[in-house]
Amino acid sequence: MIFLLISIGLLIAAFYWLNQNVFSKMDCDFFMALVEKYGKNPGDALKGKRVWITGAASGIGEALAYEMASHKCKLALSDLNNQGLEKVKRKIINHHGLQEKDIILVPFNLTETIKHEEAYKKIIGYFKQIDIFFCNAGRSQRARFEEIDIQVHRDLFEINVFSGVNLSRLLVSGWLTESHPGHIVVTSSIAGKFGLPFSASYTASKYALLGYYDCLRNEVKSKGIKITVICPGPTASAILTKSFTGKPGEVYGKEFSEVDTRIPCDRQAKLFAIATANDVTEAWTSRSPYLWLVYGAQFLPSAFRYLFPIVYNEAKLSKIRDGH
């Protein structure tokens, strides 16, 4: 019995040491950490690729544009915010070495699926091919479940799910017809791995992305088409201020405080590039404690779902999510 107690104590001490000195410093899952250290260099693997990025005027999408430009990729940038796209384009030309001819701006409202084929054909006409599609555009949400109007659910799914799925359909169809397989990289969320309280519409939309693209991966893997789904945790972007609430048309509007759990957008973009260059199927890019929560949900689902609402009450969850 004494030996057992000593062994348990040593294991707890070892875990505590590892958490304090190793795991707490990580901002991605274990496999991604190994890939970053030992995998392919994005500068070599992505050089010269023709890349389409949605949601490219701000946040992770903007950072992805700069990251891909640093690898000399040719860029098609889409967003509803045309002025934001122009700003990103100027910055790329002035600071990242691409020329005017290497960038095409394709602004449109992604929820208007009638415009998708026109945008797709415009990019194909310009670059002749798309090698990588970053399906990145999306919105977040904050509201209690019982306060969410059904229209909010529909609106969020239109933005976060259906727009990207329809664009992916066009790309996959083209790649199969031309026998030129490409790569789709989807921005999901750690909210797609476990139910994040007070964000039901957002969480459901991110779960949906994992389902859609897991299915697509299984269908097209033999054709050489690659699918990567990335699940970022809290990120230092303006996504919180633009988040939906429970009322149609209303935005959350609150700023977040700078807290250590948030990853800068440029770091997220670098992790996205590493995952893309190494054909990672699913990556989690988050800091503690969220990274541990994803592991718990993935590998200890019953225990996690019992303990999570007990350990993370509303006040504690709000503090680590929004920094308030």
List residues with catalytic annotation: 202
CA-to-CA distance for 22 and 33, rounded, in angstroms? 11
- Count CA atoms within 13 Å of residue 180 on its CB side: 11
| Of residues 127, 215, 236, 141, the one with CA closest to residue 174 | 127
CA-to-CA distance for 233 and 63, rounded, in angstroms? 16
CA-to-CA distance for 269 and 213, rounded, in angstroms? 20
SS3 228: strand
The answer to whether 234 touches 324, Cβ cutoff 8 Å, is: no
CA-to-CA distance for 226 and 138, rounded, in angstroms? 21
Return the ∠ at Cα 260 (arms to 255 and 266), rounded to 5°: 80
> Tokens in use for 192?
């797609």
Helices (H), 149-284: 150-157, 163-178, 200-220, 265-277
The one-letter code for the residue type at 320 is I
> Tokens in use for 305?
């779902």
> Tokens in use for 261?
């759990």
The answer to whether 31 touches 280, Cβ cutoff 8 Å, is: yes
Question: Torsion over CA of 107, 124, 61 and 156, rounded to 10 degrees?
Answer: 70
> Tokens in use for 324?
């308030």
CA-to-CA distance for 141 and 42, rounded, in angstroms? 32
Whole-angstrom distance between the N-terminal and C-terminal Cα of the chain? 46
